[in-house]
Structures are given as C-alpha cells and as structure tokens.
C-alpha cells in the first residue's frame, strides 16, 4: 500500500484517530506553549489543563472558545479533527511503509473504540435486565 504523506495523514486528528486531548496537546505544542503557559492564559489550574489533555475532563464551552482562539485552530477541529487545525507531526516526512502502519493503527483504534462503545451498551442492557429480574 503506497500512500503519499498527505493521504496517510488525512484524518490523523479526526475522532476516529485522536481524542480531544490529543488535538488539544498537538495544538498547544504547535503554538509553542507549555501546559503551564496555556493554563495561565486561560485562567485555569495547570492540573485542569492536564486533565483535558489526558481526556479525564472536558472544558466548558467558554474555555473551548478561548482555546480555539489562543491556539489558532477552529473550534470544529478541536472538537472533531475536521476543519482548520494543525498538521500531524512530521506530515511531510512520513515514509510510505510508516504511513501504511499508521493507517492500519488508526483503523484498529477506530475499530477498538467502536467495540468499546458496543460493550458499554451491552453492559447497560445487562444491568437493566438484572435490575428488572430482581
């Protein structure tokens, strides 16, 4: 599978390939800011920003808008990976064989995410059935 760098990095930051925290960290790094610097500019604790990047917590709408402006990315990109954002690291330097591996990894991650969501639904159904039976 021979892909150009553009083809292999398309969708790199989409919901299927990256989390909100991944996109936030990438945009922050592309802007040349440390977590502490960005947290100070946003008026939040460093730990709060770290939790956002680690996908432990999510910012409120007003902070999302501020992040978008401070990091020069669209709000849509920050939330979904589509729109005006940052380029994947080394996008122009990815070798074709590495691109193929990255593409397969993204596909597997998307598949794993879909399976985890399905497991969650089944778990809720099971709990509901057990509660109804009791």
Which domain range does residue 121 map to? 5-133
Predicted confidence (pLDDT) per residue in 14-52, tens digit:
555 688 998 899 899 888 999 999 999 999 999 999 999
Q: Torsion-angle region of residue 17: left (phi > 0), alpha (psi -120 to 50) or beta?
A: alpha
Q: 71-110, pLDDT tens digit by residue?
A: 989 888 888 888 787 776 555 566 778 777 866 776 677 6
Name the domain count of the chain.
1
- Record the pTM: 0.58
CA 119, 123, 125: angle at the middle one, nearest 5?
120
CATH number at residue 83: 1.10.260.40
């Amino acid at each position: 599978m021979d892909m150009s760098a553009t083809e292999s990095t398309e969708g790199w930051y989409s919901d299927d390939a990256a989390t909100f925290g991944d996109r936030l960290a990438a945009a922050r790094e592309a802007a040349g800011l440390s977590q502490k610097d960005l947290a100070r500019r946003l008026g939040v604790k460093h730990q709060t920003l770290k939790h956002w990047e680690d996908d432990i917590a999510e910012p409120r709408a007003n902070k999302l808008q501020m992040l978008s402006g401070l990091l020069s990315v669209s709000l849509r990109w920050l939330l979904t990976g589509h729109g005006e954002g940052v380029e994947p690291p080394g996008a122009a330097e990815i070798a074709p064989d590495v691109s193929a591996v990255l593409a397969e990894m993204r596909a597997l991650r998307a598949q794993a995410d879909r399976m985890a969501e399905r497991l969650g639904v089944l778990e809720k159904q099971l709990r509901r059935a057990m509660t109804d039976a009791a």
